[in-house]
Amino acid sequence: MLVISKPPSNNGVLLRFIIAWVAAVAWPAALFGAPARSAPAASERATHIVTIENMTFSPAILRVQPGDTVIFENHDLVPHTATAREKGKFDSGLIKAGESWSLTLPSAGSFPYSCSFHPTMSGELVVENAVPSKASPALRGK
Ligand SMILES: [Cu+2]
């Protein structure tokens, strides 16, 4: 006669496997922590993401350090731009649907920007300890 059900001893094997895994992987990770989570040194360059979704830059105001990289990701179905309001500072040009554009800001300052197709879409990059510009539409209503 054919017995289809698994022998009960399999459960014991599985349990021992889980205990071994916890001992080998999870416990050392808990001991040493995740190094990536620790605060980066001042000299390290960070990468930040600005998401473009539902005609909105998010976060609207992003604080970065000089030399950090900011990646604009367009999750909308229409193209957008990230264009500095101060002429010549930066301009992504067309960021097509599903595409991204990256920018490195070398110097401190506040850089309000908007989408050249949709002027109501606005955001601001604040580099180092600069104060967000009072003119920034991103600050309105907050
Ligand atoms: Cu746009």
- DSSP 8-state class, residue 130: P
Residue pLDDT, tens place only, 121-130 = 999 999 987 6
pLDDT of residue 129: 73
The domain that holds 130 is classified in CATH as 2.60.40.420
Cα of 65 vs centre of ligand 1, distance in Å, is 26
Give the C-alpha separation, 123 to 101, whole Å.
Answer: 15
For the CA atoms of 117, 80, 107, 44, the dihedral, rounded to the nearest 10 degrees, stands at 170
Cα–Cα distance, 27 to 21 (Å, whole number) = 9
How many domains, in total, are found in the chain? 1
115 is in an annotated binding site: yes
Kindly state the average pLDDT of the residues 14-23.
48
Decide if 117 is inside a domain. Answer: yes
For residues 113 and 88, what is the distance between their CA atoms, to the nearest angstrom?
11
Q: What is the tens place of the pLDDT at every residue in 72-106?
A: 999 999 999 999 999 999 999 999 999 999 999 88
Do the domain assignments include residue 32?
no
Flag whether pLDDT at 131 surpasses 60.
yes
Q: What are phi and psi of 69, to 5 degrees?
A: -105, 135
Ligand 1 centre to CA of 122 (Å) is: 9
Give whole-number Cα distances, 128 to 47, 104, 117, in Å. 14, 13, 29
118 is in an annotated binding site: yes
> 34 falls in which pLDDT band (50, 70, 90)?
very low
Closest by CA to 97, choosing from 111, 78, 116, is 78
Query: 70 in a domain, yes or no?
Result: yes
pLDDT at 38 over 80: no
Contact 65, 44 (CB under 8 A): no
Q: Is residue 37 part of a domain?
A: no
pTM of the prediction?
0.64
Residue 103 counted as domain residue: yes
CA distance 15 to 50: 44
Task: Flag whether 59 is in a domain.
Answer: yes
Instruction: Determine, yes or no, domain membership for 142.
Output: no
Domain that residue 68 falls in: 47-134
- Report yes or no on 6 lying in a domain: no
